[in-house]
Structure 1
Amino acid sequence: MSGAGDDDRPGLVDRAASALFQGLMAGARLIPYERRIPMVGWVFSRLLAPLAGWPARIRANLALARPDLAPAEVARLCRAVPDNAGRAMAEIYSGAEFTSRIRAADILEGAGVPTLEAAAADGRPVIIACAHFGNYDAMRAALSARGWPVGALYRPMNNAAFNRHYIPAMEAIAQPIFPRGRQGVGQMLRYLRGGGWLCLGFDQYIRDGATLRFFGLPTETVLTPAELALRHDAPLVPVHAVRQPDGLSFRVHALAPIPPSDAETMMQSLNDGLEALTRAHMDQWFWVHRRWKPPRKKAGPA
């Protein structure tokens, strides 16, 4: 892991970054929730994102995917995308305050809800296809609030010191969660075979993925959600939490399940659905991802 020494202890830079973040979150928790969430969004947007180089990445991605946008809209998104990310992080670290708000509101809607209800009644596994949109954990909290068995696969952060508080924060929202890697994937598959539901992201560049399209551009896309759905006879249901205009509340959209066919066709349907949702809410997808990369050159004959 980044910054770890020979004894696997996080390095000084990682520990300092983690401590600064924990200090920010601890200070934010002293502020009432309705002011805390936008405040942390402002800190991410105006202070942390520029230090991390996010605006340049957002501009580069928008130049590829939405070259039609006016300069003023690009500038707005360079602020609004980090603001949403900061709000989401503040919500995760608000623990029970966040989940109790989700549980108290009936925010789940959409054509996929009957499929989810039927699967829960039958003890049938479900693959929840999700993305870095709105707040991923609001979606997990909304499903878990109904008593449904919502697990998730996650990629541990490179900063091991950060993981030590980030993973418990995620677990406080819904369990179980499984780390990527042989042991975590084995646990995940046993959970799925037992009728568990699994949240899987599909919106990041995957080096060995299938070349599909997103915003009309070729990008390597993971096939695992569709492959697991087909292998385990599980419905593949796209679910996304959409932040509302007040900046604090959500609607969770469970879309119609993806019809079973082949993995690439199913994953292209997911890309198309996420693109339509993102076009409607441009500030809520995490445009910081390196979603599009130049095609890799094929190795020639030895």
Structure 2
Amino acid sequence: MHSDGDAPPFRPDHFAINLVARGLIGLGLALPYAWRVPLVGWLMRRVIGPLAGYDQRARENLAMVWPDRPLAERKAIAAAALDNAGRTLIENYSTRDFLARARTIEPEGPGYRALIEAREAGRPVILVSGHFGNYEAARAALVARGFDIGGLYRNLSNRYFNAHYVRTMQAFGGPVFPQGRVGTAGFVRHLKAGGQLVLLFDQDVPGAPALPFLGHPARTALSAAELALRLKAQLIPFFATRAADGLGFRVELDAPIPHSDPETMMRAVTSALEARVQAHPGQWFWIHRRWKGVNPA
């Protein structure tokens, strides 16, 4: 039983946001899968994103990165990014339907062969990606093929939403670990036992070195490469690109990044993400404050 000093304070704003989010998710889950995914994408693009300021933030990032592109084109990319974010949200809560679809995805690319060989040899692998398409489609497809793919998550500030958010990630299979000392110890043990781990690297990290991303310096954690070097694990970039129908995915694993030094390795990973963003700009999460620490404006 918590004492008053131990119990987290009640946050009416967080509680209300969670109620709205759960209501939206519940509405989506009541519909057939092929309807719910585009519906929540539309709601994020036309209602939630603009109200929450996500649309404006995406446009500001796009204006900084691609100032020479026509305004109408940048607006279209921002709208597509919001749509993808909404689709990703409801897909990740549609565990049974999403997993059934993921089982039909055949991963491809040189990194997939490297992943199979590492599993057969009992060697650890770190799969690294960004907030592009829906990375959970790749993890689900690999788990369906017998890979022991662990995940790392950051606890959300909204503890009411965080409770079901964590349960949703656990439902995809494979262990998940919270960021922090306890979680780090858990996923290191998982890797040492020859497991695989998914890490996302494309968020601003205070104190991290600024590496170029889409023409601008962005503080980028080196932890994925440092861990790969420390544990002699393969570092493989992977991407789940949304198909033209808005429901399917193409899962690609790039060739493993050669071991050198952490910064050089993460520059290579960043270049792999840049190539995907250039090819499918509406599938990256432009609402992140990716350049926050270096370009505050």
TM-score, with length taken from structure 2: 0.95
Bigger shift: 287-296 or 32-41? 287-296
Alignment-derived partner of residue 134 in structure 1: 133
Deviation at 1:9, TM superposition (A): 5.0
Alignment-derived partner of residue 58 in structure 2: 58
Contact conserved, 2:150 with 2:174, CA < 8 A, in 1? yes
Alignment-derived partner of residue 299 in structure 1: none
1:14 aligns with 2:14: yes
User: How far, CA to CA, are the matches of 1:186 and 1:30 in structure 2?
Assistant: 39
Aligned positions of 1:272-291 closer than 5 A: 272-291=271-290
Q: Quick one: structure 1 residues 122 and 294, their matched pair in 2 at CA, closer, same or farther if it must change by over 3 Å?
A: closer
Report the residue type matching 2:65 in the other structure: A
Alignment-derived partner of residue 99 in structure 1: 99
What value does the CA root-mean-square deviation take over the aligned residues?
Answer: 1.4
Alignment-derived partner of residue 30 in structure 1: 30
1:81 aligns with 2:86: no
Q: Quick one: structure 1 residues 91 and 295, their matched pair in 2 at CA, closer, same or farther if it must change by over 3 Å?
A: closer
Report the residue type matching 1:249 in the other structure: G
1:244 aligns with 2:237: no
Report the residue type matching 2:261 in the other structure: D
User: How far, CA to CA, are the matches of 1:49 and 1:9 in structure 2?
Assistant: 28
Report the residue type matching 1:81 in the other structure: A
Contact conserved, 1:10 with 1:161, CA < 8 A, in 2? no
Report the residue type matching 1:117 in the other structure: I
Deviation at 1:120, TM superposition (A): 1.1
User: How far, CA to CA, are the matches of 2:144 and 2:230 in structure 1?
Assistant: 28
User: How far, CA to CA, are the matches of 1:193 and 1:147 in structure 2?
Assistant: 18
Aligned positions of 1:119-158 closer than 5 A: 119-158=118-157
1:49 aligns with 2:65: no
- Secondary structure at the counterpart of residue 100 of structure 1: helix
Alignment-derived partner of residue 212 in structure 1: 211
User: How far, CA to CA, are the matches of 2:294 and 2:129 in structure 1?
Assistant: 25
Q: Quick one: structure 1 residues 10 and 162, their matched pair in 2 at CA, closer, same or farther if it must change by over 3 Å?
A: farther
Report sequence identity in percent. Answer: 46
TM-superposition CA deviations, 1:128-150 (whole Å, max 9, x none): 01110100211110111111010
TM-superposition CA deviations, 1:240-291 (whole Å, max 9, x none): 1000000000011101111111100000011111011100000001001111
Contact conserved, 1:144 with 1:174, CA < 8 A, in 2? yes
Q: Quick one: structure 1 residues 22 and 294, their matched pair in 2 at CA, closer, same or farther if it must change by over 3 Å?
A: closer
Deviation at 1:6, TM superposition (A): 6.2
- Secondary structure at the counterpart of residue 256 of structure 1: coil
TM-superposition CA deviations, 1:170-218 (whole Å, max 9, x none): 1111221100111111111111111111111111111111121101211
- Secondary structure at the counterpart of residue 27 of structure 1: helix
Deviation at 1:68, TM superposition (A): 2.1
- Secondary structure at the counterpart of residue 283 of structure 1: helix
Deviation at 1:58, TM superposition (A): 0.8
Q: Quick one: structure 1 residues 294 and 157, their matched pair in 2 at CA, closer, same or farther if it must change by over 3 Å?
A: closer
Report the residue type matching 2:155 in the other structure: P
Deviation at 1:15, TM superposition (A): 1.3
Deviation at 1:27, TM superposition (A): 1.4
Contact conserved, 2:219 with 2:293, CA < 8 A, in 1? no
User: How far, CA to CA, are the matches of 1:294 and 1:135 in structure 2?
Assistant: 25
Alignment-derived partner of residue 186 in structure 2: 187
Report the residue type matching 1:255 in the other structure: D
User: How far, CA to CA, are the matches of 1:23 and 1:221 in structure 2?
Assistant: 35
Structure 1 outlier segments of 4+, above 4 Å:
none
User: How far, CA to CA, are the matches of 2:115 and 2:69 in structure 1?
Assistant: 37
Contact conserved, 1:10 with 1:160, CA < 8 A, in 2? no
TM-superposition CA deviations, 1:64-112 (whole Å, max 9, x none): 2111211111111221111000000110111111111111x13311111
Unpaired segments of 5 or more residues in structure 1? 297-302
Unpaired segments of 5 or more residues in structure 2? none
Aligned residue-pair number: 291
Report the residue type matching 1:42 in the other structure: W
Contact conserved, 1:126 with 1:198, CA < 8 A, in 2? yes
Alignment-derived partner of residue 159 in structure 1: 158
